[in-house]
Amino acid sequence: MRGMETGKTEIRHRVFTEIAKLAYEGGNYAESLERLTYKIRPGDPDDAGSYKGSVLYERAVIGERLRLAMGLPVRKLGEYDNIRDGVEESVIAEKYYEPPLVNVIKFACNKCPEDLVVVTNRCQGCLEKPCMTVCPRGAISRVNGQAYVDPDKCIRCGKCINACSFNAIIRQQRPCKKACGVNAISSDDHGRANIDYAKCTSCGQCLVACPFGAISDKSQIFQTIMAIKSETPVYVVLAPAFVGQFGPDAVPAKMKAAFKRLGFEAVYEAAIGADLCVIEEAADFLEEVPAKHKFMVTSCCPSWSDLVRKTFPELAENISVAMTPMVLTARMVKRMHPGCKVAFVGPCDAKKLEASRRSVRSDVDFVLTFEEVLGMFAAKGVDKECIPMDEAVELKQSGADARMFAVSGGVAQAVVNAIKSMDPDREVKVAKATGLDECKKLLMMAKAGRYDGYLLEGMACPGGCIAGAGTLQPIEKSLKNVAEFSKCAEYSCAYETAYREYLPLIEEKE
């Protein structure tokens, strides 16, 4: 429920804020971590208003969230582990993510049913009994005057759901499993959610979907702040989806001032790298399709690329060789400011694992989501309303096409526009999909020959990066904000970028 303060988002915000405060203020980190569970969740153990009736339970869950926010693993059930174990090893400025990135806090899991068809109390016990009539397995009977679905006979075809005039029959699915487009979530022996990391692409949509907050990701907030407090300058590479994420007063022109108050040196738009990426993908398409490959797959979304490699390995060679905007911009920043560190700030969980690849580590030191940075703002008391406009600096670093990378269809359209600049007579057909389940369908059709000659764009999150797991506002609002910011750009096509001198970076491929 992006854009709304729910019990789950409130706890996440408090955790990120307190970890950021701990990093900024210093002290006995191990002891402080234990105290934070009481600070975040005060109250008597018998507090009647507590979640699931136990404040002690809530503190235990918060303890795991605090550990993950410091980049530490969740503790194993049934084994003795202190909440402070491993803390001192994390008090460094160069700690990379250690898989798994997305974790299930087992004792916080509600053991939701995976997939059930159930009759609600809205059933009227009608004379027609259409649900019984249409059921192909005879799974529905009348019990105490109402319909009853035998779960052992039900095949979940949905015919009874459609037949009921009162909408009294529903399909109940585990939210995290339903949100997972690669079928990576199942139940363990105790009915708790379990992630198959061989399938998982770390998109984080299960994290967003779980209403109990039982799924969480690791963070580099602590390590980023440790780097900020050192003598090494840390620069921000800001993803195109940022517009409006930090509230209506956090206009793009205030971003440089806001991040400087957190201790960062300066801010660069990741859309600079998007412009460079577009130039490379356009050149790749003209050279390789159809001469070398039947179609080309965009490379910007790491979950999309991971899906191709894990599920359709035979199509891996069709992925564009262009580096992602995050990597290109970070590489450019490090050429401009030797010896600095770079923190990518964006909407995406999968970018965290992309940055941990050995070929990328030297370019991107930290990856933070918008949600995590909001905790840093709260920890430092940075109120965007109070940043005077005389400190505002318009961001004029990238083009309109590049800024639309955050939205479904934006990457492909930018590449098409660049190709038209290079070869006006070349026709480029595009097919796109958002959400990994739809992305899989797109790839299946491409494998079957339906999209020969096409440019295929896939984005793991529904609607594009504006729906990433680390976003803070409704998707529709983000779409509007990003589009308006795109219109403010001083140029459109990637070939007009002022950073063309950094195009040789593209040649330094992985």
pLDDT in tens, the chain (510 residues): 677 788 899 999 999 999 999 999 998 898 899 899 999 999 887 776 677 778 888 999 999 999 999 999 999 877 788 898 888 878 776 767 778 999 999 999 999 999 999 999 999 999 999 999 999 999 999 999 999 999 999 999 999 999 999 999 999 999 999 999 999 999 999 999 999 999 999 999 999 999 999 999 999 999 999 999 998 999 999 999 999 999 988 899 999 999 999 999 999 999 999 999 999 999 999 999 999 999 999 999 999 999 999 999 999 999 998 999 999 999 999 999 999 999 999 999 999 999 988 888 889 999 999 999 999 999 999 987 778 877 888 889 999 999 999 999 999 999 999 999 999 999 999 999 999 999 999 999 999 999 999 999 999 999 999 999 999 999 999 999 999 999 999 999 999 999 988 887 665 544
Whether 185 and 73 share a structural domain: yes
* Residue 465 near residue 243, CB atoms below 8 Å: no
Nearest to 19 by CA among 85, 83, 69: 69
Task: Quickly count helices (H) and strands (E) in the chain.
Answer: 20, 15
Domain-embedded: residue 502? no
For residue 82, the 8-state DSSP code is: -
Whether 119 and 106 share a structural domain: no
Measured distance CA(343)–CA(110) in Å, rounded: 35
Measured distance CA(161)–CA(172) in Å, rounded: 11
Residue 510 has what pLDDT? 45
Boundary residue ending a domain (173, 188, 207): 173
Measured distance CA(46)–CA(53) in Å, rounded: 7
Whether 82 and 36 share a structural domain: yes
Whether 77 and 210 share a structural domain: yes
Measured distance CA(13)–CA(221) in Å, rounded: 12
For residue 98, the enclosing domain spans 7-111+180-222
Instruction: Count Cβ atoms below 10 Å from residue 338 Cβ, excluding itself.
Output: 6
Domain-embedded: residue 275? no
Instruction: Count Cβ atoms below 10 Å from residue 222 Cβ, excluding itself.
Output: 24
> Tokens representing 282?
């356009």
Strands 102-104 and 215-217: antiparallel
Domain-embedded: residue 433? no
- Looking up residue 138, the CATH number of its domain turns out to be 3.30.70.20
Residue 506 has what pLDDT? 60
Residue 1 has what pLDDT? 64
Q: Contacts for 90-93 with beta carbons within 8 Å, 24 or more apart?
A: 90/222, 90/223, 91/29, 91/222, 91/226, 92/223, 92/226, 93/223, 93/226, 93/227, 93/230, 93/232, 93/341
Whether 12 and 88 share a structural domain: yes
Measured distance CA(122)–CA(448) in Å, rounded: 45
Instruction: Count Cβ atoms below 10 Å from residue 490 Cβ, excluding itself.
Output: 12
Domain-embedded: residue 48? yes
Residue 94 has what pLDDT? 74
Distance of CA 331 to the CA centre of its chain: 22
* Residue 428 near residue 419, CB atoms below 8 Å: yes
Whether 71 and 137 share a structural domain: no
Whether 141 and 14 share a structural domain: no
Overall number of domains in the chain: 2
Measured distance CA(236)–CA(330) in Å, rounded: 9
Nearest to 67 by CA among 30, 24, 40, 100: 30
Whether 101 and 187 share a structural domain: yes
Residue 508 has what pLDDT? 56
Nearest to 345 by CA among 222, 448, 221, 429: 221
Peptide linkage before 100 cis (omega within 30 of 0): yes
Residue 357 has what pLDDT? 87
Residue 48 has what pLDDT? 67
For residue 212, the 8-state DSSP code is: T
Domain-embedded: residue 416? no
In order of 9, 102, 258, 301, 330, the CA distances from 3 in angstroms are: 10, 22, 21, 23, 29
Whole-structure pTM over 0.75, yes or no?
Answer: yes
Whether 76 and 190 share a structural domain: yes
> Tokens representing 488?
């403010």
